């Protein structure tokens, strides 16, 4: 019998067209499930018949409660090699294999820099004013000669640091694992955590979400920042204490924030980040580009073909 394959989390209804799924016709039947799950019961009923499910990043939680209600599930395929929404331990216990994909490494840094530029130069407000028949509503900020503070100098943080250097910015960095030697290799100055926040004109967050990084940007860290400083987060929402950030923005103890990630996604309709004048918020689109989706889905197909041949690749396990 044909393997039943579901492609879910396709919020924009684009998965069908960015790659050729017909190459799987000899393996099984692909169904694109677009209904957003209202609750676990609905989701369990909707997905119960599928043996293979393709998911996108952290959009749908496959926790123990859901996984144990999917008796036919044999393979989970996710975009990227990390997905905090998947309970890998329970999946392993149930004999469900989980495979990931490579990512297009330039999408997130480019979005980060777009947000930095837009926030600094008030581009959204100026563009909206122009549409309303107005002209030149304020003064934009500058980047040349200012300090770009990178919280987490991994592959994405390093790329953003390089952008800052091209714009003539002084670039500093800190994270719990960063060393002065590693920072120096990419021309970045290593500083302490407090110095990072105190010296930042623009602070950009690029950490992996973990128990160590959750809430790392707290009220104390925000209090160290200059009132005219900007905060940018394209990593993961829970790294920043949202309540503390909202308070700082409302009280003008921080000039502004550009945010692509949030503690709860999709962002609730009544959330303050939707209405605060000094917030530029985007709906977690850092990885949502045509090239990245093509890579995600083409490699999911490759993973599925390898699994069907009995040789799964890019396996994700509870121990990494």
Q: Is 265 a catalytic residue?
A: yes
Q: Is 34 a catalytic residue?
A: no
Q: Supply φ then ψ for residue 274, to 5 degrees.
A: -80, -20
- Where do runs of H (alpha helix) occur along 54-188? 64-67, 88-93, 107-120, 123-131, 155-166, 180-185
Of 59, 159, 206, 236, which residue is the catalytic one? Answer: 236
Q: What contacts 98, CB < 8 A, 6 or more positions away?
A: 75, 76, 77, 78, 86, 88, 91, 315, 316, 317
Q: Is 144 a catalytic residue?
A: no
CA gap 127, 29 in Å, rounded:
46
Give the residue among 155, 156, 150, 146 at the shortest CA–CA distance from 189. 150
Residue 28 neighbours by CB distance under 10 Å: 17
Of 82, 265, 271, 314, which residue is the catalytic one? Answer: 265
Tokens (6 digits) for 219: 């009220």
β-pairing, 28-32 with 52-55? Answer: unpaired
CA gap 198, 94 in Å, rounded:
48
Give the residue among 316, 315, 284, 300 at the shortest CA–CA distance from 107. 284
CA gap 304, 54 in Å, rounded:
9
Whether 314 and 33 have beta carbons less than 8 Å apart is answered as no
Q: Is the dihedral of CA 231, 235, 240, 243 positive or negative?
A: positive
28: Cα separation from own chain's centroid: 31
Give the residue among 201, 192, 189, 91 at the shortest CA–CA distance from 145. 201
CA gap 229, 203 in Å, rounded:
8
Q: Which residues are catalytic?
A: 236, 265, 284
């Amino acid at each position: 019998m044909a393997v039943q394959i579901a492609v879910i989390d396709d919020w924009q209804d684009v998965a069908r067209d960015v790659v050729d799924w017909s190459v799987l016709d000899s393996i099984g039947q692909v169904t694109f499930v677009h209904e957003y799950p209202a609750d676990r019961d609905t989701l369990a009923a909707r997905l119960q018949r599928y043996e293979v499910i393709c998911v996108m990043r952290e959009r749908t939680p496959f926790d123990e409660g859901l996984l144990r209600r999917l008796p036919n599930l044999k393979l989970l395929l996710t975009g990227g090699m990390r997905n905090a929404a998947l309970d890998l331990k329970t999946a392993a216990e149930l004999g469900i294999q989980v495979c990931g994909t490579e990512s297009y490494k330039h999408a997130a840094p480019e979005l980060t820099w777009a947000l930095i530029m837009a926030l600094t130069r008030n581009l959204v407000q100026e563009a909206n004013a122009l549409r309303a028949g107005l002209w030149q509503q304020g003064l934009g900020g500058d980047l040349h000669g200012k300090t770009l503070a990178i919280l987490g100098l991994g592959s994405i943080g390093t790329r953003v640091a390089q952008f800052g250097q091209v714009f003539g910015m002084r670039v500093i960095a800190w994270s719990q694992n960063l060393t002065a030697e590693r920072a120096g290799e990419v021309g970045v100055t290593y500083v302490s955590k407090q110095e990072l926040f105190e010296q930042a004109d623009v602070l950009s967050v690029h950490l992996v979400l973990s128990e160590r990084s959750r809430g790392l940007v707290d009220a104390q860290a925000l209090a160290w920042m200059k009132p005219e400083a900007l905060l940018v987060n394209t990593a993961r929402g829970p790294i920043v204490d949202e309540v503390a950030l909202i308070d700082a923005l409302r009280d003008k103890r921080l000039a502004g924030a550009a945010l692509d990630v949030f503690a709860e996604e999709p962002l609730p309709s009544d959330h303050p980040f939707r209405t605060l004048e000094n917030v530029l918020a985007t709906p977690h689109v850092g990885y949502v580009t045509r090239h990245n989706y093509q890579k995600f889905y083409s490699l999911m197909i490759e993973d599925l073909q390898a699994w069907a041949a009995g040789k799964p690749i890019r396996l994700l396990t509870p121990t990494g």
